[in-house]
A and B are shown apart, each in its own frame.
Chain A
Amino acid sequence: MSWEIVIGLETHAQLSTASKMFSGASTAFGALANTQASAVDMALPGVLPVANKGAVERAIRFGLAIGATINRRSVFARKNYFYPDLPKGYQISQYELPIVQGGEIPIVSPTRGEIVIRLTRAHLEEDAGKSLHEDFHGMSGIDLNRAGTPLLEIVTEPEIRSAEEAVAYAKKLHQIVTWYDICDGNMQEGSFRCDANVSVRRPGAPLGTRCEIKNLNSFRFMEKAIQFEVKRQIEILEDGGRIVQETRLYDPDRDETRSMRTKEEAHDYRYFPDPDLLPLVVKEEWIEKVRDELPESPFEQKKKLIAYEIPVEKAEQLTSTRNSSTFAIATLMGAPKERAPVLANWILGPLAAMLNEERLDIAQSKVSSDQLRDLSERVADGTVSSTVAASVVLPALWQQEGSVDAIIEKRGLKQISDSGAIEKIVDEVLAANARQVEDYRAGKDKAFNSLVGQVMKATKGKANPAQANEILKRKLAR
């Protein structure tokens, strides 16, 4: 009998605000320990929290982007527990009334095709500080720079059915939160962290006992951790054992999950509404304003690209981030439709490679949309071949050597379309490669390609490839 896998994901997306959830301190990453902790973050006696409007607005943006309900009234609650990196002895979160409820994320499942993952809720909360256990002999250090950083905790319904679907969901969610400038998405810095609740059951049976896996800070680890956990649970159950509800930590070095604490050790957090903060009331006008300012969705932009006859997969790649999509659309929209495919290929191919090489975002591209379009013009009018365009002109543009025309001129890249000149070169090539000519005539088609290559080499790639082909064929046919 088969097993059904049941997964629910909880994602903590750090909101991209300049200041913290309830204080004015900076949220910038990597500062010297405790230099970005204000009196409020340190929980000095007498300090009070004030909710960050920018964080609330990002939560609204998220809710609107995924078609969720924005609760007009939500409540901040205190989650009480003691830990040295939790300065107040409680975390301010939302419990009974979150700001965002419902909504759905469309994904493509490798087994189930196009499906949606429904969300339970998304709520605002603050992060804790960091405990540094290794740096101080016999003691622990506390860095409160992260304390109070705004987070949006995004919770799915338990309807993800495989590790692969979990990854597809997490990637899609990542695209959405970065697209709408809700979160910078930096997983290395912990801006986007996932926990997975995993259980297995026989199809149709009630939900099995779940384990929560923490610390899935890359898509690859998420996939491996869930796969390991599913296997672990199935093995226990098939051996007649019982799953213990617990929190487990994924260890990427050993590729396994380890128990952190069981349910019996779980805290009673004693949630209650935070009396320092009034209920969060979001007025209709605010929601409408945020809705009006919402950028076009990745889905809409993908449709636009597909309308330009860009294949679905490439359209998906081009819209993977908002900057990429903005760049692609700006490039394609100004060009005749038939040039869209080559432009898309340049963006995804040579341009992406150069950006990657210098670790730049496409927004910092050294080649502009206009230049790409100019170049496509020169390919279309036969000035340069598409090979030369991609392999020579594009890198030259990247090196800031000048405009498309100036580069073609300076480097002498103009395509040879004078059939007399090409014929002369073809004659020379045929004379110098008697063996290939013989092979070709003996029926070895491969030899033809080699001869084309020789012609291109002799012209430094400048011969019009269609013309060179045609002349070569004509001469060989004699």
Chain B
Amino acid sequence: MLNSSLKELSSALASKKISSVELTKTFLERITALNGRLNAFITVDPEKSLVQARAADARIAQGRAAPLTGVPVAHKDIFVARDWLTTCGSKILSNFVSPYDAHLIERFNAAGAVILGKTNMDEFAMGSSSESSFYGPVKNPWNTDCVPGGSSGGSAAAVAARMAPAATGTDTGGSIRQPAALSGICGLKPTYGLVSRYGMVAFASSLDQGGPFAKSAEDLAMLLDVMAGFDERDSTSIERDAEDYARDLDEPLSGLRVGVPKEHFGEGLAPDVGKAVEEALAQLEKLGAKRVPVELRNSGLSVPAYYVIAPAEASSNLSRFDGVRYGYRAKDYTDLADMYRRTRAEGFGAEVRRRILIGTYVLSHGYYDAYYLKAQKVRRLIANDFTEAFKRCDVVVGPTAPTVAFRLGAKTSDPVQMYLNDIYTIPANLAGLPAASIPCGFGAGGLPVGLHLVGNYFAEARLLNLAHQYQKATDWHRREPRGLQ
């Protein structure tokens, strides 16, 4: 069962080969066995999960099951779930139990899925290694001396280590795709506005987007069917008809134009990663796709633009964590200003404090035009690059991250090196485009490499089609880390 696809689990549940309670217990046991080493989960609450599993079994018995009814899913601890601790990986929310469900949680609950637990993450999703969590770093299941990527590293590690059949994450600059790549699984960041942000703790509102982690493109499609949908409580949510994201999975790739941006194959790309990606491109050509060169000329500006816009929004979004109404409050303080200072100095970790300071600075009087407005202009240029590219191709393909997973602590003292991990993923966030990462081989140290796919707006079905066809011809996505137990 641990290696089964969601489709297989769904039919096993429907045919009552296994109950949701049994399935949930299986994964809970796996979590118990491995979490000590991987630290992928912040909160596991078997009783709560089993209540849902029993309800799912009843629903299946009544013949009212939906495709994911009874399937346990792990959620990044950035999605609030009623009565669950929701920490966002931060001390400042270490005591916050949500009184309400995020839209995404509502959708999974309505589908009858089981909340398997809340996964570890970089504090407030700020990081590319899942090391900045108040709850300690997450370890990569392929090599526990390495990071799983971030910020949704707990979800990625959980799926990679078969502690969960599927998981959710959020992606602001690569936080789904980069850990998917480094952990050897599949991850999808949908078009901005496709998945409601209601109940997703905000990092950078104009970039944040929720999405699924799974072992295959087919599984991603099933998860996206549940997650996507208009929500009137999110003003940036897009109102459009529901889609069947699996509808194009079996389309052949013949004639598909695969755009290859030379900017994503230059300096900084590790040779082992470059080689695996080249092989994947060759495989796509073998499947009938046509390789066309495209230009993403302003790609190099994406990291600096991102590190103005995201911290600016974050500095404001995180102002609500002030110790007044909920969350951590400093013990000793002399007055209101001191309470704020101490609460936020003690409650936030170093990386979060750094970004709040950067964001506050770039929005300050006299600097706003030079930083924030300029970055917004760059953002438009980057979006225009994609518009041009999509005139020549259907999907832009390249590496997800410049290297395979790095060692724990290797980049914690050099934030810029850490930020450069997201150099290939950030442009899709700035443009609001859908993008995915799928396993495409292994590099140095036997660590997985991710293939990055970027589609035009709302082209999720096409990305999944490409990924599925690739996965039918290869077995990288079936490989699993060995020697964990």
Chain A residues near B (Cβ < 8 Å) = 39, 42-51, 78, 80, 82, 84, 87-90, 142, 268, 270-272, 275-278
Contacts and interface: CB of A to CB of B under 8 A. Distances in A.
B197 A39 contact: no
Question: B interface, by DSSP: helix, strand, loop or mixed?
Answer: loop
A277 B235 contact: yes
Given A45-B98, A84-B336, A270-B363, A50 B233 contact: yes
Given A51-B235, A276-B236, A45 B80 contact: yes
B28 interface: no
Given A50-B233, A82-B319, A276-B236, 17 more contacts: A43-B325, A44-B100, A45-B80, A45-B86, A45-B202, A47-B199, A48-B197, A48-B233, A48-B235, A88-B319, A268-B365, A270-B315, A270-B363, A275-B204, A275-B205, A278-B235, A278-B236
B451 interface: no
Nearest to B340: A82
Interface of B: 79-80, 86, 88, 93, 96, 98-100, 102, 197-202, 204-206, 232-236, 312-313, 315-316, 318-322, 324-326, 336, 340, 360, 363-365, 368, 372
Given A89-B320, A270-B363, A275 B206 contact: yes
B21 to A, nearest CB: 30
Contacts of B364: 268, 270
A399 to B, nearest CB: 52
Given A142-B324, A268-B365, A272-B368, A78 B232 contact: no
B199 A46 contact: yes
Contacts of A51: 235
25 contacts: A39-B100, A43-B325, A45-B86, A45-B88, A45-B96, A45-B321, A46-B98, A46-B201, A47-B199, A80-B363, A82-B322, A82-B340, A84-B322, A87-B324, A88-B320, A90-B319, A142-B324, A268-B365, A270-B315, A270-B364, A270-B365, A275-B204, A275-B313, A276-B202, A277-B235
A50 B235 contact: yes
A239 B232 CA distance: 61
A266 B109 CA distance: 48
B324 A44 contact: no
Contacts of A78: 316
Contacts, number: 96
Contacts of B86: 45
Q: Which 4 A-B pairs have the closest CB atoms?
A: A89-B319, A275-B205, A275-B206, A270-B363
A278 B238 CA distance: 11
Contact of B99 (A44, A271, A272): A44
A45 B201 contact: yes
Nearest to B368: A272
Contacts of A272: 312, 316, 363, 368, 372
Contact of B320 (A45, A268, A276): A45
Nearest to B208: A275
Nearest to A277: B235
Contacts of B340: 82
A84 B324 contact: yes
A350 B198 CA distance: 58
Contacts of A82: 319, 322, 340
Given A44-B99, A82-B322, A89-B316, A50 B232 contact: yes
B76 to A, nearest CB: 12
A468 B233 CA distance: 77
A276 to B, nearest CB: 5
Contacts of A89: 316, 318-320, 322
Contacts of B80: 44-46
Contacts of A270: 315-316, 360, 363-365, 368
Nearest to B199: A46
A268 B336 CA distance: 19
Contacts of B363: 80, 270-272
Contacts of B312: 272
A442 B419 CA distance: 111
A278 B360 CA distance: 22
A80 B319 contact: yes
Contacts of A44: 80, 98-100, 326
A46 B319 contact: no
Contacts of A43: 320, 325
A39 B86 CA distance: 15
B201 A87 contact: no
Given A268-B364, A270-B363, A276 B235 contact: yes
Contacts of B206: 275
A45 B198 contact: no
A89 B92 CA distance: 15
A90 B316 contact: yes
A275 B359 CA distance: 14
B183 to A, nearest CB: 25
A207 B233 CA distance: 46
A88 B319 CA distance: 6
Contacts of A47: 198-199
A142 to B, nearest CB: 7
Nearest to B326: A44
Contacts of B360: 270
A278 B237 CA distance: 10
B200 A46 contact: yes
A270 B197 CA distance: 24
Nearest to B200: A46
Contacts of B368: 270, 272
Contacts of B204: 275
Nearest to A142: B324
Contacts of B235: 48-51, 276-278
Most buried by A among B198, B199, B324: B324
B176 to A, nearest CB: 18
Nearest to B234: A48
Contact of A46 (B198, B318, B326): B198
